């Protein structure tokens, strides 16, 4: 459902940009008006104050499973964490918004939505550490969670440099994210990897085009996939840092260290 909403948002932005190519001064004035109008409604709220009176019937009908609800920084708008990520919903539960909210009162705009998303990713990953396949650095300085697919070229490139990541003090924790969804060869390979007697060896073999014996056991592959969907993963590899930031795509060890030190 969020993919449909994002597609509509993208089309609207394209139309808006096209219209305003010839009216750039007006565009600036309009944006200023929008920021003033929206953030003029901002209210101070207790971030831990959860709401239990939101009508979620419409959200459930659209396939959203609501996990938490609290007031957002905009009056009349609730911040809702769902199985599909973060959305904003009106008090009556009839209007939905997908996007980002910024606080523009400081020297630089602050992405309030990312603060919420980063905290959600941190908390959720802490609950799934035991099901990850971990390549641990001896001199561990950082931990990076990686959503991976053994059929993905850049995932293989990342894995080929595992020794360099470990030497840099980066522990890699793998989570399963089959790009084709919960069926097909990647899904089957990931199940076999997590079912293997030595999952780390199986991961290395799979990413080297070596065969893996198909196992028959309960695996966390579907759970990891749904977790990635909730986090905003749209492809692999997808890296989640210890602070909850999501970095899409492959980064070589030196570049990753730079990101980790930001």
194-205 pLDDT, tens per residue?
999 999 999 999
Q: What is the pLDDT of residues 168-185, one digit of tens each?
A: 999 999 999 999 999 999
pLDDT tens readout for residues 57-86? 999 999 999 999 999 999 999 999 999 999
- Report domain 125-260's class: alpha beta
Query: Long-range contacts made by residues 199-206, C-beta under 8 angstroms, separation at least 24?
Result: 199/133, 200/133, 200/135, 203/133, 203/150, 203/159, 203/174, 204/159, 206/150
Catalytic residue among 121, 155, 173, 205: 155
Residue 48 confidence (pLDDT): 43
The percent of residues in the chain predicted with pLDDT above 70, rounded, is 81
**149 among known catalytic residues:** yes
Q: Any idea where the domains of the chain sit in the sequence?
A: 2-99, 125-260
| Cα–Cα distance for residue pair 203/150, rounded to 1 Å | 7
132 or 213, which is more confident: 132
Q: Give the per-residue pLDDT at 150.
A: 98
Within 8 A by CB and 6+ apart from 232, the residues are 85, 117, 246
Domain 2-99 is found in CATH 3.10.450.70: yes
Catalytic residue (choose from 149, 156, 195, 205): 149
Model confidence, pTM: 0.80
For the chain, the average pLDDT equals 85
Out of 121, 152, 156, 173, which one is annotated catalytic?
152
Q: What is the Cα Rg of the chain in Å?
A: 21
pLDDT at 5: 52
pLDDT of residue 31: 34
Burial bucket for residue 126 (CB in 10 Å: 0-12, 13-18, 19+): exposed
Residue 6 annotated to the active site: no
Catalytic residue selected from 156, 179, 195, 205: 179
**Is residue 46 predicted with pLDDT exceeding 90?**
no
For 208-245, write each residue's pLDDT tens digit.
999 898 888 999 999 999 999 999 999 999 999 999 99
**pLDDT at site 37:** 34
- Is residue 9 over pLDDT 60? no
- If one compares 31 and 176, the residue with the highest pLDDT of the two is 176
Pull the structure tokens for residue 70.
């609290």
Let me know if 61 is a catalytic residue: no
User: Does residue 155 carry a catalytic annotation?
Assistant: yes
54: confidence class by pLDDT, cuts 50, 70, 90: confident
pLDDT at 239: 99
Percent of the chain with pLDDT over 90: 75
């Amino acid at each position: 459902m969020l993919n449909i909403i994002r597609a509509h948002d993208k089309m609207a932005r394209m139309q808006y940009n096209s219209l305003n190519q010839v009216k750039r001064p007006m565009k600036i004035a309009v944006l200023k008006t929008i920021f003033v109008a929206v953030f003029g409604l901002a209210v101070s709220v207790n971030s831990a104050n959860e709401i239990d009176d939101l009508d979620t019937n419409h959200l459930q009908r659209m396939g959203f499973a609501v996990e938490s609800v609290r007031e957002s920084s905009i009056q009349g708008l609730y911040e809702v964490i769902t199985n599909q990520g973060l959305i904003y919903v009106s008090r009556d539960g009839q209007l939905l918004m997908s996007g980002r909210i910024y606080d523009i009162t400081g020297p630089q705009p602050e992405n309030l939505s990312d603060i919420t998303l980063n905290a959600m990713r941190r908390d959720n990953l802490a609950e799934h550490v035991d099901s990850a396949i971990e390549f641990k650095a001896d001199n561990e300085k950082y931990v990076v969670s990686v959503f991976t697919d053994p059929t993905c070229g850049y995932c293989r490139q990342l894995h080929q440099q595992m020794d360099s990541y470990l030497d840099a003090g980066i522990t890699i924790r793998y989570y399963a994210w089959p790009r084709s969804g919960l069926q097909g060869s990647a899904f089957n390979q990931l199940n076999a990897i997590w079912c293997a007697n030595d999952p780390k060896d199986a991961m290395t073999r799979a990413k080297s085009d070596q065969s893996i014996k198909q196992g028959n056991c309960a695996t966390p592959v579907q759970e990891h996939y749904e977790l990635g969907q909730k986090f905003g993963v749209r492809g692999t590899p997808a890296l989640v840092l210890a602070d909850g930031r999501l970095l899409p795509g492959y980064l070589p060890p030196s570049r990753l260290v730079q990101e980790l030190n930001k």
